[in-house]
């Protein structure tokens, strides 16, 4: 069911933990399954210099957080904002359709952390280009 890459990032997740004094934090939850993801970012001169996560969720959510934090490190905030859940899933060599929504958590977590940083800087928050709505997802979450 899962690609080798998903299994690798699930079994050996990168960037697990918290950043002390993070510049941006994002907490998102998936109301469908109750899983929660926390993202922590360190930002210097508009570049994400470090990213960590704590995820209480399914294997696909853990693999997605691991990959998403890897993908945004070293990127500008604009580039990181454009890392979609599909990009995360592609980097994981695909997720089963029933698990795609788990990667949405990663995209939303990064977005929330970026906006948390922007808010603290007194900058306007960015708007979601493609708002995901869990309410209308007719998926069942299987752990």
Phi first, then psi, for residue 141 (nearest 5°) are -90, 125
Q: What is the rounded distance in angstroms from the CA atom of residue 72 to the CA atom of residue 75?
A: 5
41 or 61, CB closer to ligand FES?
A: 61
Selecting among 102, 106, 113, 141, the annotated active-site residue is 102
Longest dimension (CA), the chain: 45
Q: Is 33 a catalytic residue?
A: yes
Site mask, ligand FES, residues 51-90, x = CB under 6 A?
------xx-xx-----------------------------
> Are the beta carbons of 16 and 53 closer than 8 angstroms?
yes
70 or 96, CB closer to ligand FES?
A: 96
- Residues marked active site are found at 33, 102
């Amino acid at each position: 069911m899962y690609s080798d890459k998903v299994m690798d990032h699930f079994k050996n997740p990168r960037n697990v933990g918290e950043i002390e004094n993070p510049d941006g934090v994002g907490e998102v939850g998936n109301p469908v399954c109750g899983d929660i993801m926390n993202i922590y970012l360190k930002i210097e001169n508009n570049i994400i210099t470090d990213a960590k996560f704590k995820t209480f969720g399914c294997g696909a959510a853990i693999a997605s957080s691991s990959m998403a934090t890897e993908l945004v490190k070293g990127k500008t905030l604009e580039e990181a904002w454009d890392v979609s859940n599909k990009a995360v899933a592609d980097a994981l060599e695909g997720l089963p359709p029933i698990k795609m929504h788990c990667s949405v958590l990663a995209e939303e977590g990064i977005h929330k952390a970026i906006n948390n940083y922007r808010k603290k800087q007194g900058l306007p928050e960015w708007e979601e280009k493609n708002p995901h709505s869990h309410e209308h997802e007719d998926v069942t979450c299987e752990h």
